[in-house]
Amino acid sequence: MTGPIEHRVREALRVQAQGVPADGPPPWRASGRQTKHRCRPTWSRPMVAVAASIALAAVVLIVRSSERTEPRTTVVAGQPAAPAETPGLQSTPLAVELLPAAPGPRPVLADVETLVASPIERASMAFQAGRSRGDTRSSWFVSDPRAQTLRAVVDLPVSGAGDLSPDGTALVFVNPLADGRSAIAVADIPTGRTTAYARASAVKTVKWSPSGSQLAVLEKTDTDLLWRATVVERDGSLVASGGVAEGEQGSSLAWSPDGSQVAMLGCQGLGACRGTVLNVARNELSRTSEPAIWMAWADARHLVGERRFGGALVTDTAGVTQREIAVDGRPAGPQAVSPDGKSILMLPSSSGIGQTFIRVVNIETGATTRELVAPQDGVPSVLGWRGSDVLVVRERPGRLEVVRVRSTVAAGEVVLVRPFSGEGFSSTLVVAEWFAAG
């Protein structure tokens, strides 16, 4: 006989599984290795002729592209940079029309609807709200913390990945296209005007450069199925592109503080991940050897990462020098590194019952410089920094709050109340750099 707890578990899992997957199965596409293994073709004369024509055309393309002076090239980890066009990527952006939003009310609380007309010139935070995964009525909202206002800047189907420009005047986000590809869309926050251009079908992350002039896109190209960090100008024109090794999955995209490099992780199967650093100007790749589950920049030469089995490490971009930050606990994610790269936020390793402290640790010395009390029991979700303070998400009945925590005793200051009801959720919350820097 099924008791109450079994019943609740069954019902909870049933509800959670609703809406997964958001769409039907993607078209089946075997990898190149499988295709070679299982479907080796029998070469007929016409096929040989076609292949020869393609090879000849490829040679001509390579010769032409090698005559370019701009570094619009692509490289793959473990291979020397080759002056060839990135497969599946166009150097000239292809402007696209975004899918329109479905009719109907936005899935957020009614009191937010009264705030959406408030003008915001410079946003501090942005988040996405939708009824369910892949909801065509989801929206991006931005917040001005001084006025406690929210405004919907994008009322379009969005995938969840997005980023605020460092100065808070533009929002970039990923938008699904009708043909299965993804678009990178840039919304100007003061005007709400959005421009978009097509990218590959799988785009995991998009990040603004520190100057706000370029974007790094973590995507898997449709032709060679390699995960790449692709750097584009704000208008979508291609600057550089470098991929992780074949068979690796890309994740954890991060710009260096000076905007000259982009770091990402390449994970071999489900095993260890290694850092891959793309030098944007020189279009060179280097690899770090230490496994990590994410990486962030401490300065232009050093990366901070979280070890797969706990703890934090510091490694240089060449992967030669590594050292551990000898502190118990785990880093609070890529956003844990302070804007000046000197400190990192550490959380308890255990699930944490009761009051929890967030430790501020000096990356260079490993010394704990401060301890901040989490605004509610348990291990908190840390959003990042606000000057020397820390932004933490606090759950309240029927809503979520972003709380600025600055001491070991005070409850913290609420800087944003996010709309959240039983019908809505937020999958992303990003903080603009100008706001994080205080």
Partner 1 sequence: MSGFTGFYESHYAATARLAYLLTQSDLVYEDLVQEAFTKLHDRFDDLDRPAAYLRVTIVNLCRQWHRGEGRRARRHQLVAPIAGDVAPDLIDVLDAVVNLPYRQRAVLVLRYWAGWSEAEIAEVLSCRPGTVKSTAARALSRLRTELGT
Chain positions 316 to 345 lying near partner 1, rule: CB under 8 A, are 330, 332-333
The one segment of 27-35, 74-82, 148-156, 179-187 that binds partner 1 by CB under 8 A: 27-35
Under the binding rule (CB under 8 A), the answer on residue 270 touching partner 1 is yes
Chain positions 364 to 393 lying near partner 1, rule: CB under 8 A, are 379, 381, 383, 393
Under the binding rule (CB under 8 A), the answer on residue 38 touching partner 1 is yes
Chain positions 155 to 174 lying near partner 1, rule: CB under 8 A, are 160
Token reading at 387? 């000057």
105 dihedral zone (left: phi>0; alpha: psi -120 to 50; beta): beta
164 phi, psi to nearest 5 deg = -90, 140
Chain positions 403 to 422 lying near partner 1, rule: CB under 8 A, are 420, 422
DSSP-derived secondary structure for 404-432? EE-SSSS--EEEEEE---TT-EEEEEEE-
- Cis link prior to 176 (omega < 30° from 0)? no
**CA atoms 57, 63, 69, 74: torsion sign:** positive
Strands 238-243 and 73-76: parallel
The binder of partner 1 chosen from 112, 345, 400, 436 (CB under 8 A): 400
Q: How big is the site for partner 1, counted in residues (CB under 8 A)?
A: 58
The binder of partner 1 chosen from 12, 47, 94, 300 (CB under 8 A): 12
The one segment of 4-12, 141-149, 172-180, 189-197 that binds partner 1 by CB under 8 A: 4-12
Strands 294-299 and 312-316: unpaired
The binder of partner 1 chosen from 1, 24, 43, 105 (CB under 8 A): 24
**Which residue's entry shows tokens 């913290």?**
412
CB contact at 8 A, 358 and 344: no
152 phi, psi to nearest 5 deg = -80, 120
Give the integer Cα–Cα distance in Å for 391 and 373. Answer: 12
Q: Least distance in Å: CB of 12 to partner 1?
A: 4
The one segment of 22-30, 40-48, 77-85, 368-376 that binds partner 1 by CB under 8 A: 22-30
- CB closer to partner 1, 6 vs 340: 6
CB contact at 8 A, 23 and 157: no
Chain positions 114 to 133 lying near partner 1, rule: CB under 8 A, are 131-133
The one segment of 9-17, 93-101, 231-239, 319-327 that binds partner 1 by CB under 8 A: 9-17
Token reading at 13? 């899992």
**Which residue's entry shows tokens 């891959």?**
276
Residues that bind partner 1 (CB under 8 A): 4-6, 8-21, 24-26, 28, 30-31, 34, 37-39, 131-133, 160, 204, 249, 269-271, 293, 306, 308, 330, 332-333, 347, 351, 379, 381, 383, 393, 397, 400, 420, 422-423, 425-429
